[in-house]
Structure 1
Amino acid sequence: MVPPAVQSPNHQQFLSSVLSQRGPSALPYSEDAKWLIRQHLVSLTTAFPSLEPKTATFTHNDGRSVNLLQADGTVPMPYQGVTYNIPVLIWLMESYPRHPPCVYVNPTRDMVIKRPHAHVNPSGLVSVPYLHNWIYPSSNLVDLVRNLSHAFASDPPLYSQRRAPPPPSPSPSPSSHNPNPNFSNSSNLGSFSSGSSNLGAFSSGYSRPSIHPNNYPPSPYGSGSGRVQPSPSPHTEDPTEVFKRNAINKLVEMVHSDVAGLRKTKEVEIEGLFSMQPALKQREDQINKGLKEMQDEMEGLEQKLQIVLMNSDVLEGWLRDNQGKKLESLENAEDAFECVDVLSKQMLDCTASDLATEDTLYALDKAVQVGSVPFDQYLRSVRALSREQFFHRATAAKVRAAQLQAQVANMASRNQHYAV
């Protein structure tokens, strides 16, 4: 008795290996789709063990060659109560699974494609409604193969190619020895030598259909040899071998059960990781935003640092020029400070006048409160001083703007000098 077909761990290991490759040898599929591609192929090989995942080179119509995944094997086709096997190639293109795969009927040398056919063109390319109506992510390979089986059952795409019968065997001479005691003369042998299949069936005594490796009924599209191997003579099996085989089958079932449980656990973990991706993406955006704000703030601080360094250079220069001077030799204490340019001298005068006017107004306020100054004279004095203070402040504002513009120009020339 042949045990039921189960998913081979080699297929899962092969898919995990080829889909995890990086660098020049990596398959051209997007990283977020590789896990789904693996699931589709594992489900396909579990439901249809006759299909095997492989990698091969696919050549596009424009001449480009790319290494892609494919499912190579046969698709079961029920026809008139018998299940046949249609050889197919299912190519997973670069954009899979967002776009449908490319399916080809792969006839052997003893098969020809039916012309015309509703779903298969002369080159073997398959076109069925399931491929045209492919919807991501609900469409999958298992439903595709089932759809292909149904479409092929309604209209088989392949026919067996007829071969010319071999020439009849020459009749043996009467003196030759007859190896088969069932034949008494050469005329009986000649009557069964018109075809190799008839000869093979007669030589074995009975005809027995060969068993397909995928446990399907025999396909009419085989190698075309027509020869059937004779069945081995029945023999009694060794009880030790039977026990060993049963133990191996039990171990295989236990391993597959453990693998199925582990796969479900890993699938749950992978789904959890996928659900974390939006939150991680949001955190990444927030970090990038904060980093940009910090970079802008750092640039602003660097500009302020340049201004402070310029002012430090000015103060250090003033200290070097005035260090060791005696203030007693100066007639006026204000002569100890020398303005570096006209704008600074004008700014100093305007600021001093503004502060002096402010002090005078404060003194007038105190005087009018104690009655030392008449009120009408106080108003005339305040009006005159306020007008003078306004002009001093307006002049100081213009001088400050001119100084700021000069500092910016000086900073730009200094940065250009440092760059050189």
Structure 2
Amino acid sequence: MVPPSSTPPPNPQQIQQFLSSVLSQRGPSALPYSEDTKWLIRQQLVSLISNYPSLEPKTATFTHNDGRSVNLLQADGTIPMPFQGVTYNIPIVIWLMESYPRYAPAVYVNPTRDMIIKRPHPHVSPSGLVSIPYLHNWIYPSSNLVDLVLHLSSAFSRDPPLYSQRRPNPNPSPSPSPNPSINSSMTSTYGQHPPPPGPRVAATAAAAGYPPSPYGRVQHPQHSQARPTSTDDAAEVYKRNAMNKLVEMVHGDIIGMRKAREVEMEGMFSAQAVLRRREEEINKGLKEMQDEKEGLEQQLQVVLMNADVLDSWIRDNEGKIKNLGKKNNNVDVDEAIHCVDVLSKQVLDSTAADLAIEDVVYSLDKAVQDGVVPFDQYLRNVRLLSREQFFHRATASKVKEAQMQAQVANMAARISHFVS
């Protein structure tokens, strides 16, 4: 393992400035993260460095299986691992992939030159790729990097992924056991300064569906390379390979099922939005229909009241028509129509006078055009007739206003009869 570093922790303010700078870049040099998630990426990295100062955010080039290279963010450093009462430091690299934080990051164990990845290990592949349940069950946006490191530290403390190998000395000695005691191997490294960085672990055995390790190929001393011996059981090797293949297939099926479920959820969310919009339209249409129904009911009340008025008028005047028909069939127009009240009689007289004056003015116009009436006499007569016509029209207007008020009062009285 790696002993505690003697270098001071990075300045949090500088880290925030660095993250703000790289995440705000635009154009070809911009990081390939979604704009609506960059704030969350910055927040999670700042929280990670605050809790684990041994990790440092960087930008580096990551190469995919298909040869594509992309510039990504990473958290490089060590995480604590308690083991048998002693805390060791495990070197790791957390790559924030293009789909982060909606999907889990890629985590690699980053052994130094004097370290070897334990084989087999339940959570670390020979290429250094880490696979723990927290990564498989990554849920956006609740999952975060701080909880990821906690789960990594817990998983590694149960089964450390690395052990130290001793450097060869000039006097050859029997090579160390492939699986030395983890306690003794860790003790041999703890307390020493870390060796200079060397080549990292290769991605020759990365599991299908995972990105390859972005480091160069490992160059171990000759005595530390694992070579098959005659003591290996072919059945055990076949069984182990079959189990690894089966795990890869199951993991691939899980990823496919997860993607299919996500597509189905997106479709359901879209259908839910459409249904909500239709619900709003239906509620709006229902309200309009209710308002229209209320308006029609009010119009129906008015029609019923008018029909009642007409029925009353017919009953009142039906006898008069019969009496007029008995008088030798000679009906006097002036006697056939009688006004019901004084106001109606006044309106009739004013309207008749108004129309008569209109006829007189028209006759005067024709007389002036024919030269029968002098022009000055025409003007004097038109002035007198216009004044008289004005008074008749004003009288008719006031009488009509009084009739309207009386009709409104009568309708109000009838409404109570229909409502009850």
Larger relative contact order (C-alpha < 8 A, sep ≥ 6)? 2
Same fold (TM over 0.5): no
Using the size of structure 1 for normalisation, the TM-score is 0.40
